[in-house]
Structure 1
Amino acid sequence: MIRCSVTSIRFFPYDTFRRGQREVLKVCEELLSKSKVLVIKAPTGFGKTSVAISLSMLRPPVLHSVRTRNEITPVLRDLKLLRRKLGGLRYSFIHSAHTMCPLTKGKYVEPEDFWISCSILRDLKLCEYFRGLSKVGVEVIESVVYPNENHVDAVRRVVDMLKVCPYFSLAKLANYSDYIVVTYPYVFNLEFFEDLFQDRNTNEYSVVVDEAHMITNPATIYSYEVSTSRVKAAINEVNHYLGGDESLKNFLSSLVSIAESKAKDDKLKILDKKILNIDEELVNYVVSRALDVKKMIIEELIVSGKPISSVMSRGASIVKVATLISNLVYEGFALFTYRDSNNIFLTTMATSHDVINRVLTSYKNLILMSGTPPSKEFLERVVGMKDVEFVDALELGAWSPYENIVVLLISQLTSKYEVRGEATYELYAKYVKIIDELVNGVKLVVYPSYEFMSNVFKYVGRGFVEGRTTTIDELSNYVSDNTLIHAVAGGKLCEGIEIVRDGKSLIKCVFVAGVPYPQSDDYLVEVMNNLKMKVSADEAWDYLYNMESSIKTLQAIGRSIRSEDDRALIVLGDRRFLSRGLRKYLGLKINKVVRDLKEFEGVVKLLVEEFL
């Protein structure tokens, strides 16, 4: 185990500090000595990862959680640099096993299906990649993993060179490591943690949460959905494999019929757990029967002589239903339904921040990082954390990306529900077209909802449009130097994209087409009711509307500035951005308010010539 002090560059991944890093490290080191929860607010380009690594190594072992597996490699890069200075530093990484498994290569497998299949095949000693792992030592795994430049190559080399399971190899290494980079589930889901570290407790680990603004909305971390068509498929499985278990079929049929009667549009409608008789006994029964079905499917495939890869990739719809309802026995979760086009979905979502608090406060200490983190007040009063310390890197000399943007506000526009209609959608489209025509580079247009985006896009007619299932890889394959991107605030693209070349952002304009207030539906009501148990009604509204929409806006804006050499035009397309409630969270200097299309076009032309 390595213990270090952040006062020396020797314990920092790089040979020099960026602006503000040394100052932040010194302040944070002192605060961590007396507080369990530390929040670091730092902009893009500050180097939050390297700072977090140095600070966390004061209290190893460390779990560094990132939102997606694509964000693992930058952390590994810094750990690799630090290991060159500290030869004894041992690290590992963990993400979704179903994407690592060589038996599922090139196939999509549901995670919950994968784990059941994996467990059964391991018990039957039918997985050759797991069988050989007992003969491979930790030092051998290190020698294969550490030379790689990214996590994808590391996984591939473990399979190619060692012929063993990459997930369990990395898990083996993780149990001996000072620093482990993981995706969110391995921190936020205690069952995942217990499977990974079977002989350890959460209170032994320090935790870093990257993109910590995600915890302001519990459903972004805890949610799971299933279509009613999959529930109907589960009924067919019950008939085929269980001889028509009537009580189980009745429950599944009730799920479908109630969802179909309640789901009218894309607004979430809550389903009463009592009407569906969902309790711990029912959940345990459904889970047990789902396992029975899954085992029968696997046995059927093995007996028929199917290859092991086919066994691993075969799913069972009843398993998805069991996963859907499994969290409903806990406080703070509710079941909802909604309609998307011709499809109806059931979704289980966390509605209380207590769900997050129960997990995070079980760890030894926390470092929460974001360019737009929740406030100390919010974390203490709403999430329920104690003795939170807050550090703003900008106040300690960090470079500010806001120096490199110009912000325009269009007073003619608003996305208020009362004024929405074809005239409003067409007017927004006219402004978007001006940006598209005049600005060279990638343009990101951010909408408050999929519905609003669809209505505006039909008048724009050009660009990449984010869907509910769109992946970042799909955008990466589409994007060019002059792409127009249409995305939804708070979605995958606004939270996760980084379109760069030679370290510089290609995004030259972010157009926020309407304040991204949350959709008014039953989920919002549930969250609001839970908030009002902790703060006043006015404060609850402020957090849920002003704070949430400001975080989404700032996250979208942050996509455009990834280095000190970048410049971008930011357009706030809604006069409500002038309100005091939003401005206190945004903290943006609005350089100019424009009143109409003609004035907007003239100002943009000037900025393209003199600023961009």
Structure 2
Amino acid sequence: MQEKRVAIRELAQFIYRADSLDNRKQSNHTALDGAKIHRRLQKSAEGDYQAELALKITYQGKHWQILLEGRCDGVFVIDGTYCIDEIKTSAVHLEYLTAEELALFFAQAKLYAYIYAKEKQLTEIFVQIRYYQVTDETIEVLRELFQFADLEAFYLATLERYEQWLDLALELKQKRDGSIEQLSFPFPAFRQGQRELAGQVYRALTHEKQLFTEAPTGTGKTLSTLFPALKALQNQQINSIFYLTAKTVTRQVAMNSLALLQKNGLQARVVEINAKEKICFQEKCICNPDACPFAKNYFQKRSEALWELLNGETLYFDQTTIQAIAQKHQLCPFEFSLDLSQWCDVIVADYNYLFDPQVYLRRFFEGGTFDGYALVDESHNLIHRAREMYSTSLSVEWIERFYQYLPKSAKKHRSVIQRILDELTLLDSTRQKQQVNELFTTDFPESLVFKCYQWSEYFADYILEFNQQTDEEWILLLYFDLLHFLKIAEYFDDTYLFSIDDRRIHFYCLDPAWFLNDKMKQLKGTVLFSATFSPIDYYQQLLGGNEDSLTYRLPSPFAQEHLQILVADYIKMDYQNRQSSIPEICQLIIQTFEAKRGNYMVFFPSFRFMDEVIQALPIDQLPFDLFIQERQMTAEAKEEFLAAFQPNRAVVGFCVLGGMFSEGIDLKGEKLIGSIILSVGIPQINDQQEELKKYFIKKGLPGYDYTYRLPGLNKVLQAAGRVIRSEEDYGVVILVDHRFASQTYMRQFPSHWAHGRVCHHLAALKSELQQFWNKAYIHK
């Protein structure tokens, strides 16, 4: 007999939710606010009212013993008959709730009523829904009398349905675990370093640790982390693995690796989660039943689709598969991929589905912890992404525009917005007096946030009354921005800045380490890995590492003599001197190509500087075909750019350092034989970056390094990593900037760059290139 423990609320949601998707019914009304209102309503109840009554019962099924438990809001007596009181609080007026939503409220309360009636041996009992609307502070009561026999039939039918799902889940897990036990590595042998990395990953996960590991290009990081994680998943009775990436290309590598393991016998379900905008069937992602047929009755259709799907043979759910299933069942493909993920063993997705406070997969973490692992690929990208996730802004212009848009009759709504605008005017006048473009402060704008919170409640009413019009979509976007602004305000502490400029108000997260660590603590183990994690203590500090975190660094698996590192220190690339260095840069590019004809990439510090170099080149006389990264490139244009890099071609690609061609690009062999990297890649100096530097200095950390030098160096290392992609590759990396020759930079270079040479003039560079390519020719 299997055992299962489930909350009454969770059970009712799982079995009886049948309403539509509707993003208009969002609110900033928090669980804490709801709890306060519950307590107030409970205290105001007349007579002998029992509040927060704990109820539980054990169901004996065919294969499962299910402990059902919960805490009902209250029990009291009406005219000699007991009544279960279920309190619901929301910013949504009762009239806007659907019949399906009301039925769900009653389903939960009926389960409470059955357990209480059984304990008290009652023949009948009232079930009451007290609905509190927070904006108007109104209470409406829905009450119904139920016979015990009817409640018992409802209870048994509910648990029988639930047991069927439990049987299915157990069957799927047993198949998965059996296949993992028999699973072998999908290649005859491990590459150099792969076995060591796999061992470190397995030990870290089975001991429920964080592991920060640098695994250079060629290690085979994807399989070296997925394979041991799957083994640990089976041995430790873990539910699932999150494989998180920053880019589509690395997500596809993970999906391909999992498909390979499935061909090798893995019976694990794999799902790829794509951005809503990418997978949506509609022209615009307007998620409500009035605007989208795939949102209508979504939850009812979802259960039918999941049951059919999980009883089938499909294990691999990529974007194409999910869209086909969703189309068949008329379901929102994005929401269905999220629901399907709860039934899958490996979830391949973007970082934000774990770390972003707005879009993380709440269904996995509602209990505070989750029996799962996370593998975080190319984790160096997570620092910048996490700052964005925990930052937000609100358009002052849009607030003013909405105020003008509101009818004069909406007096209360207009009044609260006017108070917000008055406060913003005061803040902006302070900014202007100080004669700054952006005014920063570490003080929390408590009064402003309180007024915005009031506004959000009025706005919620308006959104539900508002008939969606295409030309007024900005109103819905403003509402979501407001909710996000208030959500981020909850996190404000000494790692934040509040600011105002002439267009927007901002909450800037300077240091997301605590938030990342808090998310990772909810998992059973996390592996963060990258080809460029140097210095590793910097990444450990900013990515939420702690005193128990493990670190591991693998050497490059490729022979050192296959890669030549040259530093052209005779060219000054600091901002003051780079303009005058353009003629020397043009010479260097042409001479590098003539030393060995082939395909190269040149990485520039900015689009503007790239344009200036292009203007200085003799375009009609170049000995190679020039391909140029555009500021905005479609996926098709990107593919066309990369398709030019073929063996026996003479192609030079001009790209921006830190851009789309700096990482995640795999051009093996003769497709790419060299990278020329112009500048040390430090981020643009601006007011926000300077505030970040001050923050690190205040914490006793090297502010300039953490804000500028190390983020820039990572972009350089990533661009250099495009060159050697396999054991047979030969290539050159030319670092063009006098600063690269300083000890400050050289001591941060990876160990496999130790044989690099500094060239003090062009003749020396040409000589080094000729010697390298001559040796490479002999070795080949």
Which category describes the TM-score, using the shorter chain as reference length? 0.7 to 0.9
Q: Quick one: which of 350, 356, 371 aligns to 2:509?
A: 350
Q: Quick one: which of 351, 367, 371 aligns to 2:527?
A: 367
The superposition leaves residues 439-480 of structure 1 with CA deviations (integer Å, 9 ceiling, x where unpaired) of 64443222334554454444347642353x545553223342
Task: Say if 2:766 is the partner of 1:592.
Answer: no
| Inter-partner Cα distance in structure 1 for 2:419 and 2:731 | 57
Task: Say if 2:216 is the partner of 1:43.
Answer: yes
Deviation of residue 179 (structure 1)?
1.6
Of the structure 1 ranges 64-73 and 344-353, higher mean CA displacement relative to structure 2 is found in: 344-353
Deviation of residue 515 (structure 1)?
0.9
Of the structure 1 ranges 212-221 and 46-55, higher mean CA displacement relative to structure 2 is found in: 212-221
Q: From the superposition, tell whether residues 176 and 519 of structure 1 become closer, same or farther in structure 2 (CA, over 3 Å).
A: same
SS at structure 2 position matched to 1:136: helix
Q: Quick one: which of 385, 390, 393 aligns to 2:546?
A: 385
| Partner residue, 1:412 | 570
Q: From the superposition, tell whether residues 495 and 249 of structure 1 become closer, same or farther in structure 2 (CA, over 3 Å).
A: farther
Task: Say if 2:231 is the partner of 1:62.
Answer: no
| Inter-partner Cα distance in structure 2 for 1:608 and 1:260 | 64
Q: From the superposition, tell whether residues 37 and 284 of structure 1 become closer, same or farther in structure 2 (CA, over 3 Å).
A: same
Q: From the superposition, tell whether residues 560 and 157 of structure 1 become closer, same or farther in structure 2 (CA, over 3 Å).
A: farther
| Partner residue, 1:445 | 602
Task: Say if 2:475 is the partner of 1:322.
Answer: no
Task: Say if 2:660 is the partner of 1:492.
Answer: yes
| Partner residue, 2:352 | 185
1:488 corresponds to which letter in structure 2? V
| Inter-partner Cα distance in structure 2 for 1:471 and 1:390 | 38
| Partner residue, 2:641 | 478
1:23 corresponds to which letter in structure 2? E
Q: From the superposition, tell whether residues 571 and 455 of structure 1 become closer, same or farther in structure 2 (CA, over 3 Å).
A: same
Q: Quick one: which of 363, 369, 376 aligns to 1:209?
A: 376
CA RMSD of aligned residues (A): 4.2
Q: From the superposition, tell whether residues 477 and 334 of structure 1 become closer, same or farther in structure 2 (CA, over 3 Å).
A: farther
Q: From the superposition, tell whether residues 205 and 432 of structure 1 become closer, same or farther in structure 2 (CA, over 3 Å).
A: same
| Inter-partner Cα distance in structure 2 for 1:442 and 1:253 | 59
1:136 corresponds to which letter in structure 2? A
| Inter-partner Cα distance in structure 2 for 1:442 and 1:561 | 13
1:465 corresponds to which letter in structure 2? Q
Q: Quick one: which of 274, 283, 287 aligns to 1:118?
A: 287
Unaligned ranges ≥5, structure 2: 1-172, 620-625
Task: Say if 2:273 is the partner of 1:94.
Answer: yes
Q: From the superposition, tell whether residues 249 and 439 of structure 1 become closer, same or farther in structure 2 (CA, over 3 Å).
A: farther
Percent identity for Structure 1 against Structure 2: 18
2:585 corresponds to which letter in structure 1? Y
Unaligned ranges ≥5, structure 1: 302-309
Task: Say if 2:709 is the partner of 1:549.
Answer: no
Task: Say if 2:681 is the partner of 1:516.
Answer: yes
| Partner residue, 2:5 | none
| Partner residue, 2:282 | 103
Deviation of residue 262 (structure 1)?
7.6
- Provide the TM-score with structure 1 as the length reference: 0.78
Deviation of residue 70 (structure 1)?
3.6
| Partner residue, 2:296 | 127
Deviation of residue 251 (structure 1)?
4.7
The superposition leaves residues 123-157 of structure 1 with CA deviations (integer Å, 9 ceiling, x where unpaired) of 99863776633321355268586467xx3432343
1:17 corresponds to which letter in structure 2? F
Deviation of residue 180 (structure 1)?
1.2
| Partner residue, 1:464 | 628
Deviation of residue 80 (structure 1)?
2.4
| Inter-partner Cα distance in structure 2 for 1:7 and 1:153 | 26
Task: Say if 2:183 is the partner of 1:10.
Answer: yes
1:414 corresponds to which letter in structure 2? K
| Inter-partner Cα distance in structure 2 for 1:548 and 1:62 | 29
| Inter-partner Cα distance in structure 1 for 2:570 and 2:675 | 18
2:686 corresponds to which letter in structure 1? D
| Inter-partner Cα distance in structure 1 for 2:653 and 2:423 | 41
- Contact kept? 1:514, 1:573, Cα under 8 Å: yes
Q: From the superposition, tell whether residues 191 and 49 of structure 1 become closer, same or farther in structure 2 (CA, over 3 Å).
A: same
Deviation of residue 606 (structure 1)?
6.1
Deviation of residue 554 (structure 1)?
0.7
Task: Say if 2:588 is the partner of 1:431.
Answer: yes
Of the structure 1 ranges 92-101 and 377-386, higher mean CA displacement relative to structure 2 is found in: 377-386
- Contact kept? 2:693, 2:706, Cα under 8 Å: no
| Partner residue, 1:25 | 198
| Partner residue, 1:400 | 558
2:191 corresponds to which letter in structure 1? R
SS at structure 1 position matched to 2:727: coil
Superposed, 1:165-184 pairs within 5 Å as 165-184=332-351
The superposition leaves residues 329-349 of structure 1 with CA deviations (integer Å, 9 ceiling, x where unpaired) of 42334356899xxxx787654
| Partner residue, 1:248 | 417
| Inter-partner Cα distance in structure 1 for 2:723 and 2:427 | 44
The structure with the largest alpha-carbon Rg is 2
Residue-pair matches, total: 572
2:528 corresponds to which letter in structure 1? L
- Contact kept? 1:64, 1:182, Cα under 8 Å: yes
- Contact kept? 1:225, 1:347, Cα under 8 Å: yes
Q: From the superposition, tell whether residues 205 and 32 of structure 1 become closer, same or farther in structure 2 (CA, over 3 Å).
A: closer
Q: From the superposition, tell whether residues 499 and 69 of structure 1 become closer, same or farther in structure 2 (CA, over 3 Å).
A: closer
- Contact kept? 1:449, 1:516, Cα under 8 Å: no
| Inter-partner Cα distance in structure 1 for 2:522 and 2:678 | 40
Deviation of residue 271 (structure 1)?
3.9
Q: From the superposition, tell whether residues 372 and 452 of structure 1 become closer, same or farther in structure 2 (CA, over 3 Å).
A: same
2:377 corresponds to which letter in structure 1? D
Deviation of residue 591 (structure 1)?
3.4
| Inter-partner Cα distance in structure 2 for 1:191 and 1:355 | 13
1:96 corresponds to which letter in structure 2? A
| Inter-partner Cα distance in structure 1 for 2:225 and 2:508 | 30
| Inter-partner Cα distance in structure 2 for 1:439 and 1:349 | 48
Deviation of residue 66 (structure 1)?
0.8
SS at structure 2 position matched to 1:53: helix
1 or 2 for the larger relative contact order (CA 8 Å, sep ≥6)? 1
Of the structure 1 ranges 246-255 and 441-450, higher mean CA displacement relative to structure 2 is found in: 246-255
| Inter-partner Cα distance in structure 2 for 1:77 and 1:488 | 28
Q: From the superposition, tell whether residues 363 and 430 of structure 1 become closer, same or farther in structure 2 (CA, over 3 Å).
A: same
The superposition leaves residues 291-328 of structure 1 with CA deviations (integer Å, 9 ceiling, x where unpaired) of 5565455x244xxxxxxxx6998874524642663424
SS at structure 2 position matched to 1:494: coil
SS at structure 2 position matched to 1:103: coil
| Partner residue, 1:527 | 692
1:98 corresponds to which letter in structure 2? E
The superposition leaves residues 507-566 of structure 1 with CA deviations (integer Å, 9 ceiling, x where unpaired) of 3221111111233333233333333354x35x4444444432222211111122322233
2:303 corresponds to which letter in structure 1? S
SS at structure 2 position matched to 1:118: coil
Deviation of residue 423 (structure 1)?
1.3
| Inter-partner Cα distance in structure 1 for 2:344 and 2:718 | 33
Q: From the superposition, tell whether residues 604 and 123 of structure 1 become closer, same or farther in structure 2 (CA, over 3 Å).
A: closer
| Partner residue, 2:260 | 81
Q: From the superposition, tell whether residues 35 and 378 of structure 1 become closer, same or farther in structure 2 (CA, over 3 Å).
A: farther
| Partner residue, 2:400 | 235
Q: From the superposition, tell whether residues 188 and 300 of structure 1 become closer, same or farther in structure 2 (CA, over 3 Å).
A: closer
Deviation of residue 435 (structure 1)?
4.2
| Inter-partner Cα distance in structure 2 for 1:155 and 1:24 | 33
